């Protein structure tokens, strides 16, 4: 694939990640297994294993399997509020992974320094400017700017606002953009705005090499953007990181779980930390049922609003080829349009 003009815009992300194309397959619990991660990396992109609440010994096996399948750089995504987080962090340190993405909430400065001492580059998610500044101050090597349009755990600010708040303001570290992105045409304009690279999740969730159940993939393929909704929070004592997924009976069950836990907090029959764990356990179990068993009624159908733009199952290599081709084509169109003035 020739991408002469896009090479200029790929340069920063390409050099930072050590890849051919700075397109990231976002880490998706139960989906981002060694096979999918290695396939994306071997095709020239970048991908992360999803930590989720995976037991550390399984996580170590996944890293070893991924290394067997690819000699390209890849990363690990850890959810800082997951019960197994601290044990997972020790696995990352011990195995000296090239990249670690902190997700779910925000890492402590000492945690960033710990993994960097083992040679790992750190990327942190930023949902507003103050958080971005704090993460850069803590020493993050790069940021992921993710709009609320994304699937899974999300913030509360849309991508259009975040681009203006963060992408135009943060220049000292590479900034990768995510949330509601599905096309190379859109990626071209994000590169023009200064993005070092782009992260996509939903498109890769339905890739041919994705381990997701066929029923899960078909449900996403037939979904409209407005069906991917974010979960509400009912009580500040039970801080719920919003999760975006297709609305179904399981989505409604989660609302009932929150109300039940709030009642138990009122009665003093459950501690706040235990209630928070119940919330995370619900999503982990529901997500597993959807992705591995194809339970599209009660499982968690995590997807970004870009689901409305995903129309077919494609091999990973073809997804990346299309993204690169359409990015280049759009950049050429912009150059022609500017040349007319």
Q: How confident is the model at residue 53 (pLDDT cuts 50, 70, 90)?
A: confident
In this predicted model, what pLDDT tens digit does every residue of 74-85 receive, in sequence order? 999 998 888 889
- Tokens read off for 16: 């930072």
Question: Using the 8-state DSSP alphabet, how is residue 19 labeled?
Answer: S
Q: How confident is the model at residue 185 (pLDDT cuts 50, 70, 90)?
A: very high
What pLDDT shows up at residue 209?
A: 98
Average pLDDT over residues 273-286: 83
- Tokens read off for 24: 């990231």
**What 3-state class would DSSP assign to 203?**
helix
Q: Percentage of the chain surpassing pLDDT 70? A: 99
CB 189 within 8 A of CB 182: no
Integer CA distances (angstroms), 229 to 177, 220, 339, in order: 20, 13, 41
Q: How confident is the model at residue 236 (pLDDT cuts 50, 70, 90)?
A: confident
Characterise 301 by phi-psi region: left (phi > 0), alpha (psi -120 to 50), beta (else): beta
| Separation CA 60–CA 148 (nearest Å) | 31
For residue 106, how many other CB atoms are within 10 A of its CB? 20
Query: Given a cut of 60, is residue 191 above it in pLDDT?
Result: yes
CB contact set of 23 (below 8 Å; sequence gap of 6+): 45, 46, 187, 197, 198, 199, 200, 320, 323, 324
Average pLDDT over residues 165-175: 95
| Separation CA 49–CA 31 (nearest Å) | 9
| Separation CA 23–CA 17 (nearest Å) | 10
Average pLDDT over residues 136-157: 93
What pLDDT shows up at residue 226?
A: 96
In this predicted model, what pLDDT tens digit does every residue of 25-44 receive, in sequence order? 999 999 999 999 999 999 99
Q: Of 150, 129, 142, 144, which Cα lies nearest the Cα of 177?
A: 144
Query: Given a cut of 60, is residue 1 above it in pLDDT?
Result: no
| Separation CA 47–CA 51 (nearest Å) | 13
Q: Of 85, 37, 88, which Cα lies nearest the Cα of 58?
A: 88
What pLDDT shows up at residue 2?
A: 56
Query: How many residues can be counted in the chain?
Result: 341
Can you list the domains of the chain with their CATH numbers? 4-212+309-339 (3.20.20.70), 223-302 (no CATH)
């Amino acid at each position: 694939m020739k991408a002469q003009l896009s090479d200029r815009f790929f340069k920063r992300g390409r050099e930072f990640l050590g890849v051919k194309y700075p397109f990231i397959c976002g880490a998706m619990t139960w989906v981002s297994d060694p096979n999918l991660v290695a396939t994306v990396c071997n095709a020239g992109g970048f991908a992360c294993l999803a930590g989720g609440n995976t037991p550390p010994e399984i996580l170590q096996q996944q890293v070893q399997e991924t290394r067997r399948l690819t000699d390209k750089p890849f990363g690990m995504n850890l959810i800082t509020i997951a019960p197994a987080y601290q044990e997972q962090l020790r696995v990352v340190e011990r195995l000296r992974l090239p990249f670690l993405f902190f997700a779910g909430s925000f890492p402590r400065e000492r945690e960033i320094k710990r993994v960097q001492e083992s040679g790992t580059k750190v990327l942190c998610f930023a949902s507003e400017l103050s958080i971005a500044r704090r993460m850069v101050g803590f020493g993050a090597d790069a940021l992921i700017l993710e709009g609320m349009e994304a699937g899974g755990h999300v913030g509360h600010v849309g991508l259009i606002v975040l681009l203006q708040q963060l992408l135009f303001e943060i220049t000292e570290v590479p900034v990768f953009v995510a949330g509601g992105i599905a096309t190379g045409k859109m990626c071209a304009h994000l590169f023009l705005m200064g993005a070092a690279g782009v992260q996509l999740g939903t498109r890769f969730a339905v890739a041919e090499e994705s381990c997701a159940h066929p029923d899960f993939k078909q449900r996403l393929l037939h979904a409209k953007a407005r069906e991917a909704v974010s979960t509400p929070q009912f009580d500040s004592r039970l801080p719920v990181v919003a999760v975006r997924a297709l609305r179904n009976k399981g989505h409604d069950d989660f609302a009932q779980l929150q109300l039940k836990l709030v009642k138990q907090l009122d009665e003093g029959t459950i501690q706040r930390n235990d209630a928070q764990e119940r919330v995370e356990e619900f999503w982990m179990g529901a997500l597993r049922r959807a992705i591995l068993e194809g339970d599209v009624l009660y499982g968690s159908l995590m997807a970004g609003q870009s689901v409305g733009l995903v129309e077919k199952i494609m091999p990973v290599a073809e997804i990346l080829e299309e993204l690169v081709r359409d990015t280049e084509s759009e950049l050429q169109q912009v150059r022609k349009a500017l040349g007319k003035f």
